[in-house]
Structure 1
Amino acid sequence: MPPRPLSAALALAALLVSALPAAAQRAVATPWPAPPDKLYAELFVDVQTAQVYADQKTFVDATPRDDPATILASYRAQRGAPGFSLKAFVDAHFEPPADTPVDPPSGQGLREHIAWLWPALTRDTAHAPPGGSLLPLPRPYVVPGGRFREGYYWDSWFTMLGLQEAGREDLVDDMIENFASEIDRFGHIPNGNRSYYLSRSQPPFFALMVELAAAREGDAVVERWLPEMRREHAYWMRGAEALKPGQAAARVVRLADGALLNRYWDDEDTPRPESYLQDVATAKQSPDRPPAEVWRDLRAAAESGWDFSSRWFGDGRSLATIRTTAIVPVDLNALLLELERAIAKGCTLAADQACAAQFDGFAKHRVAAIEHHLWHPHGYYADYDWRLGKLRDEPSAAMLYPLFVGAAPRDRAARTLRTAECALLGQGGLAATTAHTGQQWDAPNGWAPLQWIADQSARRYGRPDLAQALDARFLASVERVYGSEHKLVEKYVVDGSGGSGGGGEYPLQDGFGWTNGVVVSLLDLRDQDRAAPAPRRTPARCAR
C-alpha cells in the first residue's frame, strides 16, 4: 500500500483521537515492557496514520536512538514548528529494523536449501536494544523470515520438526528453554517476543514441544517442564472458577450445561500496534459495534494464528463482522486437552498423584465437552458460537485437531477424514477452509502446519492412503514454487492453479520457518512410504 498524502493522513488521525490516544497514554498496569503505542502516545498514532513506513510493523520494530520519554517530549515540543517534518523527526530518532535477506547459493536442491536456511534464520538476542519492542530471550531461536524478525509461539513447534530431522536437538532444547523463560517471566508465552505481543498468546503448543523433545531425550523432559506447563494451563483457565453457566471470562467459557471450554482472547481492546491502520479501518466498517469490541476480536483472531479467516466472521465473508471471542474453537480445545494430559503424565512422573488425578479429570471433562458440543451432525468437528448457541457450519482444517491429539472415537474420526478429503483436499494439498474471502487463512490457500496436522491425523486413524495423497499434492506445490522461484513461502495455492498463496494484510513472506520444518518432515515420510507403500484404497465418493 503506498503512503497516503500527509493531509489525508492527518484527517484520519483526527478521526481517531477518541479511539486510541487516551488508551495509549494510560499507565501500564503490569511490570511488562510497554508496547510502542503506549510509549509514544500521539507520536505513534501520527507515524502510523501518516504511513511514514509502508508496513505498519516497521515502526513498532524500530529501535529508538534515545529514551522513549525524551523522544515523546521532543516531539510534543517540535511538532507545531513551521516546516516540521514528521518523517525527518522519525528518521532522526529511530533506527528502522534491518531485514536480513535470504540469499542462498545457486543450484541448491530442496533439502539442501532447507538445511542452509536453519542457520540463516537463527537469531540470538540474549540482549535486546533498550527502549525497543524486542524481548530478549536467553537462548538462540529460529524466526519465520521476512517481516517476521522475532520468534513466534506456534510456528516454532512445526519448525522444531525440521530441526530434529537436521539433528539440531540442541536448538530444539534452546527454544523450549526460551518459551519456559517467558512463562516464568510473564505467566504465558506471548504471540512473539515483542512487547506489543504480550497481551495475547498463540495456540498452546508448549506441551507438544516438550513431548517432541521427550521422544528423543526421555520422560525426564516432561517432569522438568511440568511447572511451566501448569502455569500455562492456569493462564488459559484464568477466571474459570467464578463462572456461571452461560458466562465467559478472558479465555474461558462455561456453556449453558456447565461444560467448560476455551476461546481466544486478548487482554487489550485497542488496534494492534503492528496493524494499526488496518484495525482502525475495520472498526469503521462496523458502525453498529463499539470499536473496542471489534479490536478485541481482531486481536483474539491474531492469538488464534488464523489471522484472518472466515472461521471468525459473523457472516462468513467479511472481516468487519468478526466475532472471534464469541466462538469456541475446536483446535484450541484439542490443544488444551493435550496440555492437560501432558500435565497429568508429568505429575505421575513426579509422584504427585493428587495432581495427576486432577488433570486427568480435567482432560476427561474436556473430551466429553468436545464430543458433546463440537461435533457437527454433518460429520466433522466444528467451532461453536457460544453466544448464539449453535455450531458453525463451514468446514475448516481445524476439524482435524481432535484426531491429531488422538481424542476422537474411531467412527467420528473416519467421518471427519472423509469430510476433510471431500471438502478441503485440492490438487495442491489441503485448503484451510472452503470459503473464498480474500483472507489468507481461507481458500484457496493451504498452509504447511495444516498439512502436517492432516497427515498425522490420517496416519493415526488408519488412513495412510489419504496421508500419502495429501503429502504428494502439497509437496508438488512446494516443489513447483521452489523450481520457479527458488524459495519456500508461508502459504501456497492448493486448488490446482498452483503458485504461492496470497490474501491478507501483508505481502507474501518467504523464508520460511514452519514451511521448512514441515516440508523436510514430509519428504522423510515420502521416502518411508515409497519403501512400504500403503494399501490402495478407493477415494471417497464426494457429492459435488
Structure 2
Amino acid sequence: MRPIYLASLSFTALLCVACSNPSPATWSYEDARSRANVPPDQAYPELFEAVQGKQLFTDQKHFVDALPKRDPSKIRADYLARRDSADFDLNEFVKDNFIESGQAQSPAPQPGVPIKEHIDNLWPVLSRTYPHVPRYSSLLPLPLPYVVPGGRFREMYYWDSYFTMLGLEQSGEKAQIRQMTDNFAYVIDTYGHIPNGNRTYYLSRSQPPFFAYMVELQAHIEGDQAYGRYLPQLQKEYAYWMAGAQALKAGEAGKHVVKLADGSVLNRYWDASATPRQESWLQDLKTAGQAPDRSRQEVWRDLRAGAESGWDFSSRWLDDDKNLATIRTTSIAPVDLNSLMYHLERTIAKACETIQNSPCTQAYGQRAAQRQRAIETHLWNAEGGYYVDYDWQRNRQRPALTAATLFPLYTGLASAEHANRTADAVREGLLRPGGIATTQVNNGQQWDEPNGWAPLQWVAVEGLERYGQTELARQIGSRFLQQVQAVYGKEDKLVEKYDLSGQGDGGGGGEYELQDGFGWTNGVTLKLLQKYGG
C-alpha cells in the first residue's frame, strides 16, 4: 500500500497518530461521541456571527475549520468583554486565538504525466490520518486512514467517498478501501448515522446513502462474508433513515420519512437543525431574507436538506427555477434517494441471507418490493417516459427531467420497459457534448446546466449498461472522459465539476470557487479509462 500522508494543515504537529490500525472491537464509540466538540456557532456564537457577517474570510468554511488555541468558553468570554472597546480589532483577535485552517489544498501540477499516473500519484496526497484530533477542533477523529476530495474539502465526505473508492480499486489500493469502509462503520456506531462529513458542524445531517455500495464493493474484493460483518451497521443506518415511519399517518412526514395518501412510505432529505449552515452562514442568512412569506427556520432547514442531498444547489428543489429562496427540499420525495434506499433494503436482505437469517431476508426483501411498487406508482412519469421526484405536500409529481432519473436503472428496480423509455428521454433531453447534463435549467446553481458531475456520469453509465443500453452508456462515459482529459491537458489537474458544453472547461456557479483534487472525479475517470480506454 502507498504511504499515508498526514493532512498538511498548520496544526499537524499537534496530532497524535496511531502507529497501528485498531480493530472495530477496540474502537471506543462512547468516548468519541462524548468528546465531540460543539460546532463553532454554538461554542462562541457572538464571535462566530461577527467573523462570518463581516466576511473576514472569503470562504465561510475557513473560520469554522480554524482551530481554537484555548478553551472556546474563555475565547467567548474574552470576546464579549473586549468587543465594544474603541481599540478592539476583530482581525487581530481571531489571529491571536485561532490557528487558521490554511488555504485550500491543491496538489502540485505534473505537466506531461499521463492522467492515470497523475491520479495514482494523487491518492497519497489526498490521504489523511486522524485517529486523534487537536483539542477543540471541529474535525471528528476516524480510527483509520481515509481520502479527502481535495481543495477546500479537507475532511472525508460521505457519498464522495464511494466514487473515490472505485478509483482506489482501479489503482490496486484495496487495503484503503477496507479502511474507509471500516471508518464509515465506525461513525455509524458512534453517531447513529454517517454525517455529511467528519466535522462537528455536519453531524445534523447525512448524505445520499451509499454505505451499502461500499459494502458491496468490499464483498466484491473479499467475498460475501463482508455482508455479514457490516450487517449491524447497515441496519443501523437504515433505522436512521426510517426513524418515525411506524407512527406516521397518511399525508404526514417525520424526519426523513413521508407517508403518502395511499399508505406508501418514501424518504426525503432532512436536517435535524433549522439554522444557517455554519460553513455557509452568510449566504443562508441572505437567502432566508429573500423569502418574506416563509419563516427563516423553514428556509434554513430546506437549505440544509439540500446540502444533505449532495445537489447543493439545484432547480430540482426550487419552486422558481431562478430563485434559491423558493427551495422546498423537505417537501420532495426524491427518486435518487428512494432508489438508494431500495438498494439498501436489498443489501440488508443479502447480508441476512449470508448468515442464514431467513426471517430477516424475507422482511427486508418485502420492504424493498414495497418501495419498488411505490416508486413505479408515484415517481414514474408515464407521459414523459422517465422517473421524477414527487411533491408529497401537494400530492403531485415534479415533472423536471434530471440526471436523477437514472437511479432506478442504476439500482436495478426499473422494469425493462421503463428503463428503455428513460434511456430515450435521457438521449433526447440530457445528452451533451461533455456527458450527461445534471438538469435542463441554467440558473447559476452548480447542480444545473451547464455543469456535469462525475458521480452522475457513473450512475448513468452503469444504469444504462445494466439494461442493455450500451451505446448510450458509451456516449455518456466517453464524452465525459474526453472532457476530463481536455481540462487536464490544459491545466494538469482534475476538478470537482465540468462545463459540458464542449469547450473543455471546468464548471462554475455555486457558493465557492471551482476546486481541484478531486476525489470522485479521480475515481470515475479511472473506471471510465478502464471501460473505454484512453
TM over 0.5: yes
Give 3-state SS (helix, strand or coil) of 1:455's partner: helix
**Which among 304, 307, 310 is matched to residue 309 of structure 2?**
304
Map of 2:12 onto structure 1: none
Q: Quick one: distance in 1 between partners of 2:97 and 2:263?
A: 54
Given candidates 255, 258, 266, the residue that maps to 2:263 is: 258
Secondary structure of 1:439's match? coil
Q: Give the aligned residue type for 1:389.
A: N
CA displacement at 1:32 relative to structure 2: 5.0
How much has 1:216 moved relative to structure 2?
1.4
2:57 alignment counterpart: 53
One of 236, 239, 248 as aligned partner of 1:234: 239
Runs of 4 or more, structure 1, over 4 Å off, are: 29-32
**CA distance in structure 2 between the aligned counterparts of 1:363 and 1:165, rounded to whole angstroms:** 31
Counterpart-to-counterpart distance in 1, 2:114 and 2:205 = 38
Say if 1:438 and 1:504, in contact at 8 Å, map to a contact too.
Answer: yes
**Which of 77, 81, 85 does residue 77 from structure 1 map onto?**
81
Aligned twin of 2:90: 86
Q: Does 1:155 align with 2:160?
A: yes
The aligned counterpart of 1:534 is none
The CA distance in 2 between the partners of 1:60 and 1:472, in whole Å, is: 39
- Asked if 1:520 is matched to 2:526, the reply is yes
Q: Which residue of 2 aligns with 1:37?
A: 41
In the TM superposition, residue 30 of structure 1 has moved relative to its aligned partner by 8.9
CA–CA distance in structure 2, aligned partners of residues 224 and 285 of structure 1: 49
Matching residue's letter, 1:55? D
Residues 28-77 of structure 1 deviation map (CA, whole Å, 9 limit, x = unaligned): x9985311111111111111001111110000000000011111111111
Match of 1:119 in 2: 124
> Which residue of structure 2 aligns with residue 22 of structure 1?
none
Structure 1 distance, partners of 2:157, 2:81, is: 38
> If the length of structure 2 is used for normalisation, what is the TM-score?
0.92
What is the 5 A alignment of 1:77-476? 77-99=81-103, 100-377=105-382, 378-476=384-482
Counterpart CA distance in 2 for 1:386 and 1:252 is 11
- Find 1:480's aligned residue among 480, 486, 503: 486
- C-alpha deviations, 1:188-212, integer Å up to 9, x for none? 0000000000000000000000001
For residues 330 and 504 of structure 2, the distance between their equivalents in structure 1, rounded to whole angstroms, comes to 34
> 1:540 is matched with which residue?
none
Assess if the C-alpha contact under 8 Å between 1:32 and 1:186 holds in 2.
no
C-alpha distance in structure 1 between counterparts of 2:461 and 2:316, whole Å? 22
Q: CA deviation at 1:105?
A: 3.3
How far does the alpha carbon of each residue in 1:263-296 deviate from its partner, in whole angstroms, 9 at most, with x for none? 0000000000000000000001101100000000
1:505 maps onto 2:505 in alignment:
no
One-letter amino acid of the structure 2 residue matched with residue 436 of structure 1 = N
Quote the sequence identity (%). Answer: 55
Partners of 1:315 and 1:373 in 2: how far apart?
Answer: 22
Cα RMSD (Å):
1.2
Classify the secondary structure of the residue corresponding to 1:473: helix
How many angstroms does 1:494 deviate by?
A: 0.8
CA shift at 1:497, angstroms?
Answer: 3.2
Q: CA contact under 8 A between 2:208 and 2:310: conserved in structure 1? A: yes
1:129 deviation in Å? 1.1
SS in structure 1 opposite 2:213? helix
Give 5+ residue unaligned stretches, structure 1. Answer: 1-28, 531-544
Contact 2:106–2:516, Cα closer than 8 Å, also in 1: no
Contact 2:37 2:137 in 1 (8 A): no
The residue aligned with 2:10 is: none
Separation (CA, whole Å) in 2 of partners of 1:416 and 1:217: 34
Secondary structure, aligned partner of 1:384: strand
Q: Give the TM-score normalised by structure 1.
A: 0.91
SS at match of 1:391: strand
1:325-344 superposed Cα distances (whole Å, 9 cap, x missing partner):
00000000000110001111
The residue type equivalent to 2:168 in the other structure is L
Structure 2 letter corresponding to 1:452 = W
Partner of 2:185, secondary structure, is helix
Q: Is the 8 A contact 1:492 1:499 kept in 2?
A: yes
State the one-letter code of the partner of 1:396.
T
Whether the 8 Å contact between 1:164 and 1:172 is mirrored in structure 2 is: yes
Q: Tell me how far apart the structure 1 counterparts of residues 57 and 271 of structure 2 sit (CA, whole Å).
A: 26
Separation of aligned partners in 2, 1:434 and 1:496: 16
Q: Is the 2:423–2:464 Cα contact (8 Å) retained in structure 1?
A: yes
- Of structures 1 and 2, the one scoring higher in RCO (CA 8 A, sep 6+) is 2
Name the SS for the 2:496 alignment partner: coil
What per-residue deviation string (whole Å, max 9, x for no partner) do you get for residues 375-404 of structure 1? Answer: 012100000011111111110000000000
Confirm or deny: 8 A CA contact 1:104 1:116 kept in the other structure.
Answer: no
